[in-house]
């Protein structure tokens, strides 16, 4: 299977809310501390994997908090 060429670098998912939750993930972008510190040295493949993990963490957070329907979340969606 061939890799898709990336023409643009993957941008950091940072939202400027640099606070860790009770599990150690950033409340803004859902990256771990290690993922945030290593972002600049990661390959595009590694960054894509981190973004996939962040999306899973967001979905898990939404399932556990069960945001009331019709109510806007405090943080806009990253995805």
Inside any domain, residue 74: no
- Look up the domain containing 53 and give its range: 17-65
pLDDT digits (tens, 9 = 90+) for 48-68: 999 999 999 999 988 887 754
What local confidence, expressed as pLDDT, does residue 45 receive?
93
With beta carbons less than 8 A apart as the criterion, state whether 55 and 63 touch. no
pLDDT digits (tens, 9 = 90+) for 6-39: 567 788 899 998 899 989 999 999 999 999 999 9
Q: CA 4 to CA 61: how far, in whole Å?
A: 30
Split into its structural domains, the chain has a count of: 1
Inside any domain, residue 52: yes
What local confidence, expressed as pLDDT, does residue 66 receive?
72
Mean pLDDT confidence for 3-7: 59
């Amino acid at each position: 299977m061939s890799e898709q060429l990336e023409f643009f670098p993957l941008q950091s998912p940072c939202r400027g809310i640099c606070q860790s939750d009770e599990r150690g993930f950033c409340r803004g972008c859902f990256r771990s501390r290690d993922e945030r510190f290593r972002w600049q040295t990661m390959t595009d493949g590694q960054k894509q994997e981190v973004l996939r993990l962040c999306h899973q963490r967001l979905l898990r957070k939404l399932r556990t908090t069960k945001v009331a329907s019709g109510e806007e979340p405090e943080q806009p969606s990253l995805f």
